Chains A and B, each alone.
Chain A
Amino acid sequence: RKEVEQDPGPFNVPEGATVAFNCTYSNSASQSFFWYRQDCRKEPKLLMSVYSSGNEDGRFTAQLNRASQYISLLIRDSKLSDSATYLCVVNKIKAAGNKLTFGGGTRVLVKP
C-alpha cells in the first residue's frame, strides 16, 4: 500500500462549479499535511497547509480527518486557471530533517 494515495482523476469540472477530492495516508505518525499544485510540465508549488481544525484560503478549503487518515481539498467557484494536478503531501519528522511524502496527484480540468 502506498503511503499517500490519491484518485488520479481527471476530475472534469465546469467553470464555476465546486470540486472536492480526498487523499488517504497510511502512517498514523504523520505530523503535517499540505496540498501542492503542479501545472503541466512545471514544478510543484505549495498551495496550502492543512490544519487540524480545517482551513480556508480564498476559494480553497482543506480538511484533515486524523481518525480516518485522510485530508481533503475543496475548490469553490472553479476557474479555468485552477486546472492543474493537486499533490497531497504528508510530513514525517525524521531524526534528521523533515521528509515530505508526495501522493501521485489528482488531476483537475476546469472547462468553460
Chain B
Amino acid sequence: DTAVSQTPKYLVTQMGNDKSIKCEQNLGHDTMYWYKQDSKKFLKIMFSYNNKELIINETVPNRFSPKSPDKAHLNLHINSLELGDSAVYFCASTAGTSGINGYEQYFGPGTRLTVT
C-alpha cells in the first residue's frame, strides 16, 4: 500500500495550459505539504495544510492554487503554465505540525512536470 500517492507521475504540457496534480495520503496524517524541486535539486516548500486549513503559504505565484477537500487529499492547480514551472513537485504529509510529529515528512513519489 502506497502511503502518499501522487498523480500523474509525469506531466508534459505546453506553456499557457492549466493543469492539476493530485495527492492522497492513507497515513491518517493531519498535515500535508507541496514542495517544488528544481533542476538544481533544491527542495522548497510551497504550501502546507493542516486539517484542510492553509497554514504555510510561501512566496508562490498566484497561478498556483492548492485545494484540500479533506485532510487526506491535497491537490495543486497551476494556471497559465510557464517554462520555469518545469520541476518535480512532491507532496508530503506529517502526523502534526509541531514537535516530532511535524518533523518526519513522508513524501509521495513526485510528479515530474515539463513545460514546453
Please give the distance in Å from B104's CB to the nearest CB on chain A: 5
Number of residues in B with C-beta < 8 Å to the partner? Answer: 23
Known: A44-B107, A45-B107, A46-B105. A96 touches B97 (CB 8 A): yes
Give the segment of B13-21, B38-46, B59-67, B68-76 that binds chain A: B38-46
* Cβ contact within 8 Å between B41 and A91: no
Contact with A along B4-36 (1 / 0, CB 8 A): 000000000000000000000000000100000
Please give the distance in Å from B30's CB to the nearest CB on chain A: 10
CA of A103 to CA of B40, assembled, Å: 11
Q: Does B56 contact A (CB under 8 A)?
A: yes
CA of A59 to CA of B63, assembled, Å: 45
* Cβ contact within 8 Å between A97 and B97: yes
CA of A45 to CA of B105, assembled, Å: 8
Most chain A beta carbons < 10 A, residue from B42, B90, B94: B42
24 A-B residue pairs with Cβ-Cβ distance under 8 Å, sorted by A, are: A43-B90, A43-B107, A43-B108, A44-B105, A45-B107, A46-B105, A85-B41, A93-B98, A94-B56, A96-B50, A96-B56, A97-B48, A97-B97, A97-B98, A98-B94, A98-B97, A99-B45, A99-B48, A100-B45, A100-B105, A102-B42, A102-B43, A102-B44, A103-B42
The 3 tightest CB contacts between A and B, nearest first, are A43-B107, A98-B102, A97-B97
CA of A104 to CA of B38, assembled, Å: 10
Please give the distance in Å from A7's CB to the nearest CB on chain B: 13
CB-CB contacts below 8 Å: A72-109 with B:
85, 87, 91, 93-94, 96-105
